[in-house]
Chain A
Amino acid sequence: MASLNSIYENVRQPDAFSTNSSRVYKPRTAFRSLVPYVSETPWSNYLANELAELQGLDVGWDGYGSPPVHPLSAHHANCLLAGVNYILNNSINSELAKPDAPYLVPVSGGALQAEWHFNNSIIEIFFEKSEAACAVFYSESNQVDEFHEEEVLPSVGNNVDATVLLEWFKRAAEIDNAITAAA
């Protein structure tokens, strides 16, 4: 039986740098049901609801006979996005304002795509049942011409390598700030 101390080690403690230091996030451990004061984040609720809805779409939702989002596509998306959410919440030295949860869009055939729309750039991650996710960053500004593409490997629990995504979130903010300053 794990001690309470070992359980609490997995829980992010409120810190002075957080913009919302009262929020404590659910640890992804086998013992999380024993932690009485954790709360769901807006991302978590949103992801759970949206992914459930996308898996429940009618066959032919796209008008071309597509099945709903495949459970494995949704699982991969949930693992990665929950991990990114966790990392963002626990990056006490982050230079980032935490982005909103991404839009989740079904793709014909059972895949799905997560999208963040910033003022001047977009980040997209494509999830399919049997392949690593493909992430792209591109600028939509006439003043900045950037396009990046990376493979994001499936994740397990909190073992998410979100380095590329965090860099892209920062880059999106840099572009927005530079364009605002130049205006």
Chain B
Amino acid sequence: MLSLRPLDENNNTVPHDHPEIKNQDFLVRGVSPRHIAGGRLSKSFFNSSSDPYKGLSTDLHKLSPDKNYNNACHVGAVQFQAEIPRNDNLKVGYDPILEGPDKNLAHCQVWRYDGNGVKRITPAHTKAMCNGAIWKNEIANVEINRYS
């Protein structure tokens, strides 16, 4: 595990940039079959969730190097380095899920958060992450969606 992260009054992790997540560290995101449209990975795969801080869930590879992404939910996985969202002024922080069926001590999030509050990740941000992503566990006959 990494060191502690900031929490709000509801025990949600506050968007932050975690100093122990290095720019060269890989963030991995498992691919659900639902993310595949027409033989390609939908760009929505890189979109904000609707949680309170609109984060994008990922796993920090160095904390779970042996995680299996061929399971009941996932058919593969892609990865990108933490510097890609950071170069677009997004924050990459640590948000471990400590208990429950989704327990995940490697869980990280990518947020768009500045002094004016939380906003959704924009199409330009997803474009950058999409273009910088590579397969971790490749899915046969599926392409990572790329822009020109």
Contacts and interface: CB of A to CB of B under 8 A. Distances in A.
B142 interface: no
B19 interface: no
B35 interface: yes
B148 A117 contact: no
B13 interface: no
Contacts, number: 97
Interface size class of B (residues with CB under 8 A): 20 to 34
A70 B51 CA distance: 13
B21 to A, nearest CB: 17
Contacts of B71: 63
Interface stretch (B2-10, B39-47, B79-87, B133-141): B39-47
A126 B74 CA distance: 23
Q: Which of B50, B54, B107, B123 has the most CB atoms of chain A within a 10 A radius of its CB?
A: B50
Contacts of B40: 117
Interface in B54-87: 54, 56-57, 71, 73-74
A17 interface: no
A65 interface: yes
A113 B37 CA distance: 11
Contact of A61 (B32, B56, B145, B147): B32
Interface stretch (A5-13, A89-97, A134-142, A161-169): A134-142
Interface in B16-55: 30, 32, 34-35, 37-38, 40, 42-44, 47-51, 54
Contact of A105 (B35, B101, B107): B35
Contacts of B43: 113, 115, 124
Contacts of B42: 103, 105, 113, 115
B34 A113 contact: no
Interface of A: 57, 60-66, 70, 103, 105-113, 115, 117, 122, 124, 126, 128-129, 134, 136, 138-142, 144-147, 149
